[in-house]
């Protein structure tokens, strides 16, 4: 238990569906992250929020839309996804952004796009 | 471009020692992290190096050579529970983490 929870743990959706992934951290951290993890590939950073402000958007397609209503919650809204978007989506948080702050990860949402 | 290289898979015997290497090329450097990820679970933080040398933490140690762009994770007295993927990540000058694809470590009895 890392103090970062994600729901749902598994999600199967069609290409025309709209769904949302939720992340909550109970660590009092100020930075939150969304990553995509595909088999045998490096973690891909998608979005970073620091004190609720988006600081990074690594050329992520617009079919992925993040939302950070407060420093404890992070959402990833999904719509009209493609089969290649099937992956494990990990949320992480850290005390701050940058420097030596390690990141604490949630268990991930396994997403399958059919 | 920025890149992290680490072996895809390694096999070791219970009770033995294993060294997992990582080389990095980044735009600037602000530290190197090692994470452990068991199958189906979240990555968990193992170590952080920003200065040259060896950092020891129980059975796990991590080494950094900034001049060589090289790090390794040393695991001693291997246990079956150490079977996992080990992720190397370097922080660049913009404080972004550049991740390796991970090394899957298989421990055999």
B contact set with A (CB within 8 A): 4, 8, 30-31, 33, 41-45, 48, 50, 87, 89, 91, 95-102
Of residues B32 and A1, more confidently modeled: B32
**pLDDT (0 to 100) of residue A56:** 72
Alpha-carbon distance of A82 to A87, in angstroms, equals 11
Residues 6+ apart with CB under 8 A from B31: A99, A100, B48, B49, B50, B90, B91
- Please list every residue in chain A whose beta carbon sits closer than 8 Å to the beta carbon of residue B99: 42-44
CB-count burial class (<10 Å; 0-12, 13-18, 19+) for B70: middle
**pLDDT (0 to 100) of residue A98:** 74
Nearest CB among A44, A90, A102 relative to B33 is that of A102
Nearest CB among A40, A90, A100 relative to B42 is that of A90
Instruction: Please answer whether residues B70 and B44 qualify as being in contact, where contact means their C-beta atoms are separated by less than 8 angstroms.
Output: no
Decide: helix, strand or coil at residue A102: coil
- Please list every residue in chain B whose beta carbon sits closer than 8 Å to the beta carbon of residue A95: none
pLDDT tens digits, residue range A43-56? 999 999 988 888 77
pLDDT tens digits, residue range A77-92? 999 999 999 999 999 9
Is residue B79 over pLDDT 80?
yes
With pLDDT > 70 as the criterion, what percentage of chain A qualifies?
98
Confidence class of residue A67 from pLDDT cuts 50, 70 and 90? Answer: very high
CA distance B40 to chain A (A): 8
Q: How much is the average pLDDT of B14-34?
A: 96
């Amino acid at each position: 238990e890392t103090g970062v929870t994600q729901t749902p743990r598994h999600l199967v959706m069609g290409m025309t569906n709209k769904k949302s992934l939720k992340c909550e951290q109970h660590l009092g951290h100020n930075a939150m992250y969304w990553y995509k993890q595909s088999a045998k590939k490096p973690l891909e950073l998608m979005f970073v929020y620091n004190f609720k402000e988006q600081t990074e958007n690594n050329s992520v397609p617009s079919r992925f839309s993040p939302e950070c209503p407060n420093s404890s919650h992070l959402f990833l809204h999904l719509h009209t996804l493609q089969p290649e978007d099937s992956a494990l989506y990990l949320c992480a948080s850290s005390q701050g952004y940058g420097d030596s702050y390690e990141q604490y990860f949630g268990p991930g949402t396994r997403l399958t796009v059919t | 471009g920025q890149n992290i290289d680490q072996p895809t898979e390694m096999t070791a015997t219970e009770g033995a020692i294993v060294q997992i290497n990582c080389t990095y090329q980044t735009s600037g450097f602000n530290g190197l992290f090692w994470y452990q990820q068991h199958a189906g679970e979240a990555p968990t933080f193992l170590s952080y190096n920003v200065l040259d040398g060896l950092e020891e933490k129980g059975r796990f140690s991590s080494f950094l050579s900034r001049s060589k762009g090289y790090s390794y994770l040393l695991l001693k007295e291997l246990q079956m529970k150490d079977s996992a993927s080990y992720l190397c990540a370097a922080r660049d000058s913009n404080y972004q983490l550049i991740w390796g694809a991970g090394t899957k470590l298989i421990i055999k009895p």
